[in-house]
Amino acid sequence: MSTTPTDLDALAATLRAAIGADRVISDRQQLRTYECDGLARYRVVPGLVALPADAAQCAAVVRACVAAGTPFVARGAGTGLSGGALPHAHGALVVTSTMRDIVEVAPDDERAVVQPGVINLAVSRAAAPHGYYYAPDPSSQQICSIGGNVAENSGGAHCLKYGFTTHHVTGLEVVTPDGERVRLGGRAPDSPGYDLLGAFVGSEGTLGIATEVTVRLTRLPESVRTLLAAFGSTDQAGAATSAVIAAGVVPAAVEMMDALAISAAEAAVHCGYPAGAGAVLIVELDGPAPEVDAQFAQVQALCRENGAFEIRIAADDAERALFWRGRKSAFAAVGRISPDYIVQDGVIPRTALPEVLRRIDALSAEHGIRVANVFHAGDGNLHPLVLFDAAVDGQAERAEEVSGAILDLCVTHGGSITGEHGVGVDKAKYLPRMFTDDDLATMHLLRCAFDPDGLANPGKVFPTPRLCGEVPGRRSGVHPAQAAGLAEVF
Amino acid sequence: MPADRILDRLRAAVREAAEGPPRPVRVPGPAAASADGPAAAASVPVTVEAGPVASAPVTVEAGPVASVPVTVEAGPDEAGVVRRAGEADTIAGVPARYLAAPRDTAQAAAVLRAAADLDLAVTVRGGGTKQDWGNPPRRLDLILDTTALAGVVEHAAGDLITVVRAGTALDLLATTLARAGQQLAVDPPVAGGTVGGAVATNTAGPRRLLYGTPRDLLIGVTLVRADGVVARAGGKVVKNVAGYDLGKLVAGAYGTLGLITECAFRLHPLPAAAAYVSRTVDDPGAAGRLAAAVRAGQLVPAGLEVDAPPAGPATVTVLIEGTRAGVAARATAARRLLGAGATSTDRPPGGWGSLPWQAGGTGLKLTAALSGVPRLLAEARAAAERHGLPLALRGSAGVGVLYAGLPGTADPERVAALVDTVRAATAAVAGHTVVVTAPPAVRARVDLWGPVDGLALMRRIKQRFDPDARLAPGRFVGGI
């Protein structure tokens, strides 16, 4: 991390020789393009950028970085919301978006093999003609890449029923932080040994770079039914959600928006949600037609019982898309009602929803900061949008305060500071609110096993820099002097 | 150190953890108090050894010797049990010297801290139902028995999660959860197991097709490391990406990275109805092809199993779970899909979800890319016939995981040859063959785990978590 500009020049030269001059960027103006990811509040111009064409080139880049002692940061499409791909000023940014081949769609194996730069939605498009799709669907699925999804263990609206990226990746080829290429898992389940695949997914680029990803394909459901229910309040919508879950229904998705989020969405995409709603729920069921039909009627009844004053049922895919458009555009839409905003990603036990929302309201009033609420109601993943105007003195600070207080609320209710966006650089300081130093030190053991020199995405996830040190242990090996033949054991 | 003093040290550790904050206790061993002063006496008593020579004459042999009385000393002031190992306290045939049964994470941490100080090799035992799986430990002093580390800590029915201590019996947990119409969707292939054992071996049965394995359902975990440090990862909410997911790592690690003391799980509602739709076909390969046809359909089964006894026909069974009306309609569709002779019942067929071998036999786990399942089934049967061995095949054809069993009386040379053949067949379909268990004569002739991708990384992980290799040493892949 003490890499100097001169060292970077030397590294750039090495990389140009290794992977081609056109794949290495060191011009200051061009480097600016990469100064942030989806969380633009953090900006660092990278020391240099490498755009490997394939896994072999990616490994060559990492090896060169290791040889130079230069940190490296992997970046996919740059849509992450926690600053996980924030560059290192004296490091290399390894951009995988040029590795974008769909290697194989194998419906008979229910798998697809893709390079990390492949866009999430492209996998589903490639699989659709065979009757399959790729289930994890982050809101950014039209622009985010699978490599980034793997790094962040991305979720999405439908992970309530189908799980997260970790449940849908069965194999990886990775370049480890020492530049080795290693296969983890594959097309078959249950590879013998430790679940390195499971450990790698969601490690936010700190354990290496994925260069090929084998994903599970899910059969396109026979039936999909979607409804939009309007309620007077978020409490009512929350109660309806609880009733649905208590009835033993596992919907594909249950999404909620409050009045402020609805008004933003209306302003942005004219989604035409029912007027006067204090909250809307989108509930989607999918699966075999006989099951969906039986449960869809039940869900409608439960919404009505809990105060829904209007229920719309999507007649076709176009109407379903309209329902979802309001929800999926919500983050961008608040730009219409506020110059600046912070998106939070805290999680609470779903049953704590009414209380936590009341506390958020109180925080909002107390600090004079508006908060729009959009969330995955089924799994308690909140996305409070904390609105502020950076031009107004003190607002940014107060927004940050509200934001932190919301995460505290999540943690004190037994939840998490992040459900799907990752810790990255943005939430590293909040991690100790969830975990003790022993917890973090234990997680760090894993990092040290992969990356003893701390070159892979340093400064992310862990709140304070930690060194690995030598592998401890009383019998970890012969004394170096003995090994060197300088001493003998008598 | 003499066995009695080791037992004293372990007991003192448990006692202190049970009593909460440290307070002065009687220090066993004359040297300790004077050498280390009151400060040392107040914590886990640090006995200063006079050296190997001085302690050598005191030869109180510990171990499963019948003449040594097994003293269970769980007095009112000693919550938890520390005792000499009895005759039954062996792991895969290796005798232990001591046994500790802590009742909570704090006691477990105290035991492992003391074990670290005393350089004791430790193997964790839950229900003891899978102790003949994997390799025998290279070294074993202490069995850490988790059966007292039991109980449901929390069941938040509205949030569909539970937090449960590792030694809790799976069937007991199932009963508790069923009262709320919920389940931990794990089918244990061996009865009598604990939550911790299911996670540590990551074993799952037929319904893994729909619900995944224990690893997939684990949302939070509390561990005690080899050095006695307690660490948590994950949490109590299903959706959570804060920090590394250490639960993934310890699930299926056979207790080689740490002791699991508490697990948080995602739960599922119990289905209102279930139907088992079966059809018998000529041979395992045909069963595999039929299973593939089911996968391509729209049944969304909870399980899709093949059962092929050593000779003759094979059966495909589809498990449908859901609402009453939904299951009835889907079972009809399943019968149509399976073809002539398909039958439907609401009871599982014989052998459902159990492993196709008896105690003392050889058990294999075969994995395959889904498209390779029919071929693997056919080749395994053909290979068994060639080697003259009665190979029973059973497993989750819809997932690509099959189990194969041979009787313990089968000729070890032939079994070893069959393992080689089957291993090559699984490799050809992107899978692996693991010898889950085998009699000693077979173990001596086969590599239980076969080739392991990423082994160098796994060794580095083990070295960081358990640098002295005291946790179940040698049980796992590559001698880990």
Q: How do residues A369-404 score in pLDDT, each as one tens digit?
A: 999 999 999 999 999 999 999 999 999 999 999 999
User: pLDDT tens digit string along A163-193?
Assistant: 999 999 999 999 999 999 999 999 999 999 9
Does residue B37 belong to the interface with chain A, where contact is any CB pair within 8 Å? no
CATH number (domain holding residue B418): 3.30.70.2740
Strand partners, A258: A279
Question: Which tokens hold the place of B119?
Answer: 């350089």
How far is B5 from B3, CA to CA, in rounded Å?
A: 5
Give yes or no: residues B340 and B395 share one domain. no
Average per-residue pLDDT in chain B?
89
Sequence-ordered strand ranges (E) for B312-426:
314-322, 343-345, 362-367, 392-396, 401-406
Share of chain B above pLDDT 70, in %: 87
Give yes or no: residues B241 and B278 share one domain. no
CB contact under 8 A, A416 and B240: yes
Give yes or no: residues A207 and A252 share one domain. no
In a domain, B461, yes or no: no
In contact, A225 and A233? CB cutoff 8 Å: no
In a domain, A448, yes or no: no
| Residue A293, helix vs strand vs coil | helix
CATH number (domain holding residue A53): 3.30.43.10
State residue A469's pLDDT score.
80
CB nearest to B249's CB, from A106, A195, A417:
A195
CB contact under 8 A, A474 and B478: no
Determine the distance in angstroms separating the CA of B157 from the nearest CA of chain A, rounded to an integer: 8
Does residue A218 belong to the interface with chain B, where contact is any CB pair within 8 Å? no
Shortest CA distance from A419: residue in chain B: B240
State residue A166's pLDDT score.
98
In contact, A178 and A162? CB cutoff 8 Å: no
**What confidence category does residue A331 fall into, taking pLDDT thresholds of 50, 70 and 90?**
confident
Sequence-ordered strand ranges (E) for B168-313:
182-183, 218-224, 230-234, 259-266, 268-269, 273-281, 303-308
Does residue A104 belong to the interface with chain B, where contact is any CB pair within 8 Å? no
Question: Which tokens hold the place of A371?
Answer: 């908060």
How far is B445 from B94, CA to CA, in rounded Å?
A: 19
Give yes or no: residues A164 and A210 share one domain. yes
- The answer on pLDDT for B21 being more than 90 is no
Q: Report the pLDDT averaged over residues A333-354.
A: 92
State residue A176's pLDDT score.
98
Question: Which tokens hold the place of B270?
Answer: 């119990």
In a domain, A132, yes or no: yes
Give yes or no: residues A230 and A213 share one domain. no
Give yes or no: residues A251 and A324 share one domain. yes
**Boundary (domain end) residue, out of B126, B145, B164:** B145
In a domain, A262, yes or no: yes
State residue B108's pLDDT score.
97
In a domain, A194, yes or no: yes
Among B237, B299, B480, the strongest candidate for a mutation testing the A interface, having the largest count of A CBs within 10 A, is: B237
Give yes or no: residues B168 and B282 share one domain. no
Give yes or no: residues B51 and B131 share one domain. yes
**Boundary (domain end) residue, out of B124, B145, B166:** B145
User: pLDDT tens digit string along B192-236?
Assistant: 999 999 999 999 999 999 999 999 999 999 999 999 999 999 999
Strand partners, A283: A227, A254
Ranking A359-363, A465-469, B281-285 by mean pLDDT, the lowest is A465-469
Give yes or no: residues B260 and B317 share one domain. no
Shortest CA distance from B328: residue in chain A: A290
**What confidence category does residue A473 fall into, taking pLDDT thresholds of 50, 70 and 90?**
low
Does residue A191 belong to the interface with chain B, where contact is any CB pair within 8 Å? yes
How far is A452 from A460, CA to CA, in rounded Å?
A: 15
**What confidence category does residue B66 fall into, taking pLDDT thresholds of 50, 70 and 90?**
very low
In a domain, B473, yes or no: no
- The answer on pLDDT for B288 being more than 60 is yes
User: Residue A417 has what DSSP assignment?
Assistant: S
- For residue A377, which of A446, A286, A281, A273 has the smallest C-alpha distance? A281
- The answer on pLDDT for B341 being more than 60 is yes
DSSP string across B330-352: HHHHHHHHH-TT-EEESSPPTTT
Give yes or no: residues A305 and A405 share one domain. no
Give yes or no: residues A66 and A80 share one domain. yes
Domain range for A251 is 221-335
Give yes or no: residues B329 and B374 share one domain. no
Give yes or no: residues A179 and A265 share one domain. no
- The answer on pLDDT for B62 being more than 80 is no
CB contact under 8 A, B242 and A423: yes
Q: At what angle do helices A317-328 and A259-269 cross, to 10 degrees?
A: 120
Ranking A74-88, B47-61, B130-144 by mean pLDDT, the lowest is B47-61
Which residues between 289 and 318 in chain B have a beta carbon less than 8 angstroms from any beta carbon of chain A? 292, 295-296, 298-300
Quote the Cα angle for A147-A150-A152, to 5°: 110
- The answer on pLDDT for B453 being more than 70 is yes
Sequence-ordered strand ranges (E) for A232-360:
253-258, 279-287, 310-313, 340-343
Question: Which tokens hold the place of A35?
Answer: 């100064």
Shortest CA distance from B435: residue in chain A: A192
**What confidence category does residue A6 fall into, taking pLDDT thresholds of 50, 70 and 90?**
confident
For B191, counting Cβ atoms within 10 Å of its Cβ (0-12 exposed, 13-18 middle, 19+ buried), the class is exposed
Question: Which tokens hold the place of B286?
Answer: 């045909």
- Domains identified in chain A, total number: 4
Q: Report the pLDDT averaged over residues B453-470.
A: 98
For B172, counting Cβ atoms within 10 Å of its Cβ (0-12 exposed, 13-18 middle, 19+ buried), the class is middle
- For residue A93, which of A115, A114, A78 has the smallest C-alpha distance? A78
Give yes or no: residues B81 and B138 share one domain. yes
Give yes or no: residues A191 and A278 share one domain. no
In a domain, B405, yes or no: yes
**Boundary (domain end) residue, out of A310, A335, A360:** A335
CB contact under 8 A, A190 and B365: yes
CATH number (domain holding residue A119): 3.30.465.10
**Boundary (domain end) residue, out of B130, B145, B160:** B145
CATH number (domain holding residue B95): 3.30.43
Domain range for B40 is 3-145
Q: Report the pLDDT averaged over residues B371-376.
A: 98
Give yes or no: residues A364 and A290 share one domain. no
How far is A200 from A224, CA to CA, in rounded Å?
A: 33
- Domains identified in chain B, total number: 4
Query: Bigger pLDDT: B437 or A485?
Result: B437
Q: How are the residues of chain B apportioned to helix, strand and coil, as percentages rounded to the nearest 5?
A: 35, 20, 45
| Residue indicated by tokens 């917890």 | A439
- The answer on pLDDT for B76 being more than 90 is no
Instruction: Note the helical H segments in A306-377.
Output: 317-328, 330-333, 353-367
In contact, A341 and A334? CB cutoff 8 Å: yes
CB contact under 8 A, A193 and B452: yes
In a domain, A306, yes or no: yes
Q: Report the pLDDT averaged over residues B280-296.
A: 95
Is this structure's pTM higher than 0.90?
Answer: yes
Strand partners, B163: B154, B264
In a domain, A36, yes or no: yes
Give yes or no: residues B13 and B131 share one domain. yes
Which residues between 438 and 477 in chain B have a beta carbon less than 8 angstroms from any beta carbon of chain A? 449-450, 452-458, 460-461, 463-465, 467-469, 476-477
User: pLDDT tens digit string along B135-187?
Assistant: 999 999 999 999 999 999 999 999 999 999 999 999 999 999 999 999 999 99
In a domain, B136, yes or no: yes
Quote the Cα angle for B129-B134-B138, to 5°: 110
Give yes or no: residues A193 and A118 share one domain. yes
- For residue B114, which of B226, B231, B4, B13 has the smallest C-alpha distance? B13
Which chain A residues have a beta carbon less than 8 Å from that of B460? 449-450
Count the Cβ atoms, other than its own, within 10 Å of residue B106: 18
**Boundary (domain end) residue, out of A41, A75, A95:** A95
In contact, B444 and B434? CB cutoff 8 Å: no
H or E, element range at A60: helix A55-68
| Integer CA distances (angstroms), B354 to B109, B275, B286, in order | 35, 18, 22
**What confidence category does residue A2 fall into, taking pLDDT thresholds of 50, 70 and 90?**
low
Give yes or no: residues B292 and B228 share one domain. no
Q: Report the pLDDT averaged over residues B328-334.
A: 97
Which chain B residues have a beta carbon less than 8 Å from that of A420? 239, 241
State residue B430's pLDDT score.
98
A240 φ, ψ (degrees, to nearest 5): -65, -40
Which residues between 428 and 487 in chain A have a beta carbon less than 8 angstroms from any beta carbon of chain B? 431, 434-436, 438-443, 445-450, 461, 471-476
| Residue indicated by tokens 């269970």 | B72
Q: At what angle do helices B455-465 and A437-450 cross, to 10 degrees?
A: 150
In a domain, A481, yes or no: no
In a domain, B45, yes or no: yes
In a domain, B27, yes or no: yes
Beta pairing class for B273-281 and B343-345: antiparallel
Give yes or no: residues A138 and A165 share one domain. yes
In a domain, B455, yes or no: no
| Residue A314, helix vs strand vs coil | coil
State residue A212's pLDDT score.
98
Which chain B residues have a beta carbon less than 8 Å from that of A294? 323, 325-326
Determine the distance in angstroms separating the CA of A30 from the nearest CA of chain B, rounded to an integer: 33
Give yes or no: residues B241 and B124 share one domain. no
- For residue A228, which of A195, A193, A255 has the smallest C-alpha distance? A255
Does residue A415 belong to the interface with chain B, where contact is any CB pair within 8 Å? yes
**A–B interface: beta-carbon pairs under 8 A:** 283
- The answer on pLDDT for B60 being more than 70 is no
For A452, counting Cβ atoms within 10 Å of its Cβ (0-12 exposed, 13-18 middle, 19+ buried), the class is middle
Query: Bigger pLDDT: B353 or B77?
Result: B353
In a domain, B448, yes or no: no
**Boundary (domain end) residue, out of A66, A95, A124:** A95
Helices (H) and strands (E) in chain A, counts: 18, 18
In a domain, A441, yes or no: no
Does residue B368 belong to the interface with chain A, where contact is any CB pair within 8 Å? yes
Among A190, A207, A379, A457, the strongest candidate for a mutation testing the B interface, having the largest count of B CBs within 10 A, is: A190
- The answer on pLDDT for B281 being more than 80 is yes
Give yes or no: residues A120 and A74 share one domain. no
User: pLDDT tens digit string along A217-238?
Assistant: 999 999 999 999 999 999 999 9
State residue B50's pLDDT score.
34
